[in-house]
Amino acid sequence: MTVSPLARPFPALPPVAGVELRIARARYKTWDRCDLTFATLAEGTTVAGVLTQSRCPSPEVEWCRKALVLGNARALVVNAGNSNAFTGDRGRQAVEAIAARTAAHLGCQPSDVFAASTGVIGVPLPIDKAEAGLDAAFTAEACDWQDAAETIGTTDTYPKGASTTAIVDGHTVTLVGIIKGSGMIAPDMATMLGFVFTDAAVDPAFLQTALTAANTPSFSCITVDGDASTSDTVLAFATGKAGNAMLVDADSAGADAFAAALADLCRQLALLVVRDGEGATKLIEITVEGAESDRSAHRIAMSIANSPLVKTAIAGEDANWGRVVMAVGKAGEPAERDRLAIRFGTTQVARDGLAVSGYDEAPVAAHLKGDEVEIGVDLGLGDGRATVWTCDLTHGYISINADYRS
């Protein structure tokens, strides 16, 4: 598999107290690699999550949704190669078997076990392979973050991880995240599968508040192809091993610092996914301002980001800003043609509904030759603003998805 030209090297990530990682081969596909990730979490670990808004969610998503209400976690099991989605009772039985076997191993409740799967839709997860894979993982040597990140991938061309720290109640707390995602990326909540681990002590209700807030300008602002997965899951686990006083709400000492660090980590992870968009050669940042509201700006920005015509023009390094006008107009949000302004990079190409007088396409063409492209739109209507990220649409995307199951 060719590594994305936008790839970033896997960083050196610090350990997180209270987290142990192991990987194993469950052999969900005919590939010669590990495809099961098992994370054990210290007693007292709290959890929060954001899950797909798809009306056809996987059994794993439904399991996590129920377990999140309790706010406690002792383990995470991630399967790659089979999403177990649209599999009826057989799929639900597989998740229950995974949770039961893991809970028996750890001496905890099944509801303390979180599960996620990614891969082909419509094929039940084989329980025998799941249980054999778990047994192998239980006795495997502990692994590092990069091993875990590689194991949760499917069409990913490189492993994705990031970290940050914050000072909370006089203690340095660590946050580490790994994520997978390359295609079927257009979430309203999160992206494919992402997992955040911190040693901070955080009440589950506040952890949920902080993660939800962090998700809005990060995972919910990326798109590769406009398709939201049945399995999208982001979970955050807080082991409480850093020694800080429990963060219970926004008024707790260090709560602002923790929330800012979590938001930064989520943004880092989200951009790593876009950089690995299937067939991508360019990272595209789209900023819409002057909208009637932030929500309106976001919808318009996503209309531009999801437009095949805009994305193919960028792939071909064609400064066809008329396609941006089209995407603004079709978004269904308030817009006035004669107030609209558009820029590529730092070059203004249109203003007041017209091409800029004396417009020179040369600097725009030069900007489009780079691997990072900026598009700016000003609606001239209000204070609403949003930034989203996408990638170009190339023949590579078609090639990957035309034979995904083969």
Six-digit token pair at 403? 């034979």
- CA separation (Å) from 44 to 41, 57, 70, 71, 244? 8, 29, 12, 10, 14
Six-digit token pair at 294? 């932030």
β-pairing verdict for 160-168 and 171-180: antiparallel
Q: In terms of residues, how long is the chain? A: 406
Buried b (16+ CB within 10 A) or exposed e, 33-52: ebbbbbbbbbeebbbbbbbb
Q: Is 180 annotated as a binding residue?
A: yes
> Which H helix or E strand runs over 200?
none
Catalytic residue among 40, 157, 191, 239: 191
Evaluated on CA atoms 363, 364, 370, 372, the torsion sign reads positive
Q: Is 401 annotated as a binding residue?
A: yes
- Please indicate whether residue 191 is annotated as part of the active site: yes
Q: Is 320 annotated as a binding residue?
A: no
In the 3-class helix/strand/coil scheme, how is 102-153 assigned residue by residue? HHHHHCCCHHHEEEEEEEECCCCCCHHHHHHHHHHHHCCCCCCHHHHHHHCC
Q: Phi and psi dihedrals of 101, rounded to 5?
A: -65, -40
CA angle (269 as vertex; 53, 168 as ends), nearest 5: 100
Q: Which residues contact 54 (CB under 8 A, 6 or more apart)?
A: 61, 228, 229, 230, 232
Mapped onto helix, strand or coil, the DSSP state of residue 202 is strand
Q: Is 278 annotated as a binding residue?
A: yes
Q: Which residues contact 229 (CB under 8 A, 6 or more apart)?
A: 52, 54, 83, 118, 184, 185, 187, 192
Hey, which residues are catalytic here?
Answer: 191
Annotated binding site: 154, 180, 191, 278, 401, 406
Binding positions for substrate: 154, 180, 191, 278, 401, 406
